[in-house]
Amino acid sequence: MFRVSDGVRSTHGQDGAIVLDVHQGQMFNLNPVGSKILELLERGSAQADIVDTISREFNASREVVENDVREFIESLRKHKLLTEH
């Protein structure tokens, strides 16, 4: 299970999201898919549930979405925006 780090602030809109890491002073722009993944992580969704939701809402194959979600989560962890617990 993953948790969005305490210092992360985000705002979501139809074009994606803006994410601010207040501890590191970094800002990130996310596209609509990244925004949806982050929203689901903020709600405490499991990775498998995120894959199902993204695949359904964006009409994409589960295999492609699985790989993309895994890579996106790894990128969030690398930038210390996400912790595993």
Q: Is the pLDDT at 61 greater than 90, yes or no?
A: yes
* Average confidence (pLDDT) over 57-70: 97
Percentage of the chain beyond pLDDT 70 is: 100
Q: Residue 39 class from Cβ within 10 Å (0-12 exposed, 13-18 middle, 19+ buried)?
A: middle
Q: Look up the CATH number of domain 2-84.
A: 1.10.10.1150
Chain-centre distance for alpha carbon 57: 15
Structure pTM?
Answer: 0.92
Return mean pLDDT, the chain.
95
Question: pLDDT, tens digit, for every residue of 30-60?
Answer: 999 999 999 999 999 999 999 999 999 999 9
Helix crossing, 47-57 with 62-78: angle to 10°? 130
Q: Is the pLDDT at 85 greater than 80, yes or no?
A: no
